[in-house]
Amino acid sequence: MKAKTVTLPRYAPMYGWRNRLLRVDLSTGRIWAQETAPYLPDFLGARGLAAKIVWDEYPEPVEALDPRNPLMVMPGALTGTRAPYSGRTNVCAFSPQGHPYPWFTRASIGADWGAELKKAGYDGLVVTGASETPVHLIIRDDEVTLLPAEELWGLDTYAAQEAACAVAGQGCKTLTIGPAGERLSRIATIQTSTTSVAGQGGFGAVMGSKKLKAISVIGSGQVPVADPERLQWLLRAVGEEVRTWKIRPGWVEQFQAQLDQEGGGKARAYPCTASCPSPCSLYLSGVEGRCRQQKYYGGLACVSFFFRGQGKPGLYDWDLGLRGGFELNVYANQLGLNHWDLLVGILPWLRTCQREGLLPRYHGREIDWNSPEFWTEFLRTIAYREGLGDGLAEGGWRAAQVLGLGEEVVRRYYTGWGYAGHWDGHAAFVNHIIYPFWIVSVLHWAMDTRDPASSTHDYIQGVSFWGPLGYRGQRPEAPITWDHLRGVGQILYGDASTMDVRSHYEGKAFPAAYHAVRAIMKDCLPTDDQVFPLMFSPNTEDRFCRIAGIPGPDVDAHILRAGTGLDWDTRAFEHAAERVLNLERALMVRHWGRDRQMDERVLPSFEYDENWVNPELGQRQRLDRERFAAVMDEYLRLRGWDVATGWPTRERLASLGLADVYEPMVAGARAAQARLPKLSPVPPVHDYHQYDPDRVAPAEARK
């Protein structure tokens, strides 16, 4: 492709939103802009804007690696402002990782790329088509350039960002893919900075299929807001509250002591996204590798800590130390591989295959998870699709079928839609949640297109972290008891049983419905999924969060109002999020005939004994399908969807200003049901850990 530069027009300014959407067609080389005002504020931005565009422009789905697949990078309404945690950005497309269909779905990415795009004057980027040769997209305010990028192709994500900045200019922010994305791995990520990735979804393969190696942006403008003083006050007030419980005293010093003991390096806290007032991620530098003789730098967060192993019996019994685990974290990021699928899906599946005698060797060598050299080779073969790694590059769910290896085993670790378990109480051994609270997680998994916990940590993580079983916010002088949690449930949901450790199926439909809407609000504003909605606090007598008299769950609407000037209260904000949620559901129905029967395909993943025991009940629980059916009925009624089909009703869509959606949704569903082969029944899941030490007691799980 020849280099091409265009200068794009600007449109009437708005508070928060920039009223400009960047469109690029790589097949034709066309670059143009359109106003976003027609979509706003009804569809909010981020997930909402993406869903509306796909609804309007894609009456039928496309395959994930089809050039027509729209790669969308969508900041939120207030990304680029001083709104707390507003740097997060959604990446949306038809998903290579999705199963049994390439659902249109999303991932979230942090750091500064989204804020830089907003400062350049855009509310989002939509890339369609595919180049025949590698290209680099550069955005400098109104000037947008497509450049040949053969010199970038083949570089890892760190090197590609450095090379892109050498071309685009210092200070640019770059999204890029690594070798995994170039080779169309279904677990390939899109990366910016050292550790911020759009991980789930396989969207790195979408960039790879388009030969789009990098997207760099430099913005010189400012995002105007309606009430900057109020927004700044909210940033400070939220930060002051969150730092009292999210920042554990001395935690950086603990990691620094580990580094000193293992050979050196520096540890510091850093914010994972722009406008974060409570930095809680770990950044390491000058850390000598255990496999390769070089010093590493970058972030370490979330599941990536499991690269080091746990050094005790169970699925993560190896021990590589902080240095070894950090080296693998960086290397997997450089290759552009999804850490979650590697560590929560592929590794447990392969470890169990080893134990069952199905996998004696890997790539012709002995399997040794305590060897950094083995790990490095293992990751490299996946990214470069060599040997068994070619199959593993399809992600664990598909790899079992591709390789004919442990097809029954793999189902134990993949809860649904091609994604490894996450806050489900069953598949994943990394998220401690007990019955009855995972009932809410079942509903989220049943309704979503992916692992739902990209934006639903609030309830399912909150009841585990804040209550007596957890550690977040727990202080000797201000403990949080089950009575406190029941009280918060009464305030927040109008029903104490929602957070009652001795409850069962009752009271679980409402929080599931509530937090599905909150997930949209968090992605579209945006805010931090690990913080919002602000539900709990160690600083109030009843442990319900309030900030200067504002109930915690209302803070989101205050932020939106200060930023955009919209005269919306919490109910109006929720109503707009309901609109987005219903449009996303309508897309699933129109494209693939998604219905309640298909939703319930995730249920076998919960119909064996849970991983951890509720100490108040004293025995492991499993999903009771008959009792759960009543909860699903209640959930669908709360949504305003048909209880038999799970489809949004004509009346519900009309109440949300989506009256024109119903007829094409139903027509598309009928066509999809006629076109697509009938899905085979989902068999029961065999529990390979019924008598294993992986099934640990709650107290042991917290160590």
pLDDT digits (tens, 9 = 90+) for 291-327: 988 999 999 888 999 999 998 888 999 999 999 999 9
| Token code pair at residue 367 | 């399997």
pLDDT exceeding 70 applies to what percent of the chain?
Answer: 97
Could you give the 3-state DSSP secondary structure of residue 254?
Answer: helix
Indicate if 175 and 86 belong to the same structural domain: yes
pLDDT at position 165 is 96
- pLDDT-based confidence at residue 700 (cuts at 50, 70, 90): very low
Q: How many CB atoms lie within 10 A of CB 150?
A: 11
pLDDT at position 474 is 59
197 versus 466: which is more confidently predicted?
197
Task: Round to whole Å and give the CA distance between 514 and 493.
Answer: 8
Residue 321 placed within a domain: yes
Indicate if 376 and 519 belong to the same structural domain: no
| Token code pair at residue 214 | 């990098």
Q: What is the pLDDT of residues 370-408, one digit of tens each?
A: 999 999 999 999 999 999 999 999 999 999 999 999 999
Q: Alpha carbon 215 to chain centroid distance?
A: 21
pTM of the model: 0.96
pLDDT at 703 over 60: no
Indicate if 193 and 265 belong to the same structural domain: no
What's the one-letter identity of residue 626? E
- pLDDT-based confidence at residue 362 (cuts at 50, 70, 90): very high
Indicate if 240 and 107 belong to the same structural domain: no
pLDDT at position 459 is 93
Indicate if 297 and 428 belong to the same structural domain: no
Indicate if 558 and 525 belong to the same structural domain: yes
CA-atom Rg of the chain in angstroms: 24
Q: What is the pLDDT of residues 577-602, one digit of tens each?
A: 999 999 999 999 999 999 999 999 99
Task: Round to whole Å and give the CA distance between 321 and 311.
Answer: 9
Task: Round to whole Å and give the CA distance between 110 and 196.
Answer: 5
Total domains, the chain = 3
- pLDDT-based confidence at residue 698 (cuts at 50, 70, 90): very low
What's the one-letter identity of residue 62? V
pLDDT at 695 over 80: no
Looking up residue 379, the CATH number of its domain turns out to be: 1.10.569.10
Task: Round to whole Å and give the CA distance between 62 and 674.
Answer: 17
Indicate if 491 and 633 belong to the same structural domain: yes
Residue 681 placed within a domain: no
Q: Are the beta carbons of 231 and 248 closer than 8 angstroms?
A: no
Domain boundary pick from 416, 432, 454? 416
Q: Alpha carbon 403 to chain centroid distance?
A: 28
Indicate if 300 and 386 belong to the same structural domain: yes
DSSP per-residue string spanning 434-477:
-TTTHHHHHHHHHH-SS-GGGS-HHHHHHHHHHSTT--TT-BTT
pLDDT at 21 over 50: yes
The predicted model gives 142-171 an average pLDDT of: 97
Apex CA 488: angle with CA 502 and CA 572, to 5°?
125
The predicted model gives 265-285 an average pLDDT of: 92
Looking up residue 33, the CATH number of its domain turns out to be: 3.60.9.10
Indicate if 260 and 189 belong to the same structural domain: no
Supply the range of the domain harboring residue 312: 235-416
Indicate if 541 and 652 belong to the same structural domain: yes
Q: Is the dihedral of CA 182, 187, 191, 195 positive or negative?
A: negative
Burial class (CB in 10 A: 0-12, 13-18, 19+), 626: exposed
Q: What is the pLDDT of residues 637-657, one digit of tens each?
A: 999 999 999 999 999 999 999
pLDDT at position 484 is 94
Indicate if 176 and 210 belong to the same structural domain: yes
Domain boundary pick from 170, 186, 218? 218
pLDDT at position 13 is 87
pLDDT at 471 over 60: no
- Closest listed residue to residue 443, CA positions, set 600, 583, 594: 600
The whole-chain average pLDDT of the chain stands at: 94
Residue 682 placed within a domain: no
Residue 688 placed within a domain: no
Q: Is the dihedral of CA 696, 417, 202, 106 positive or negative?
A: negative
- pLDDT-based confidence at residue 694 (cuts at 50, 70, 90): low
pLDDT at 14 over 50: yes
- pLDDT-based confidence at residue 699 (cuts at 50, 70, 90): very low
Residue 254 placed within a domain: yes
Q: Are the beta carbons of 163 and 150 closer than 8 angstroms?
A: no
The predicted model gives 476-493 an average pLDDT of: 90
Domain boundary pick from 187, 218, 249? 218
Q: Is the dihedral of CA 428, 198, 45, 103 positive or negative?
A: negative
| Token code pair at residue 491 | 């305030």
Task: Round to whole Å and give the CA distance between 230 and 233.
Answer: 5
Residue 39 placed within a domain: yes
pLDDT at position 697 is 46
pLDDT at position 702 is 35
Looking up residue 600, the CATH number of its domain turns out to be: 1.10.599
Task: Round to whole Å and give the CA distance between 448 and 74.
Answer: 19
Residue 60 placed within a domain: yes
Indicate if 46 and 73 belong to the same structural domain: yes
Residue 138 placed within a domain: yes
pLDDT at position 239 is 96
The predicted model gives 606-614 an average pLDDT of: 95
Task: Round to whole Å and give the CA distance between 531 and 238.
Answer: 10
- Closest listed residue to residue 427, CA positions, set 611, 622, 625: 611
pLDDT at position 248 is 82
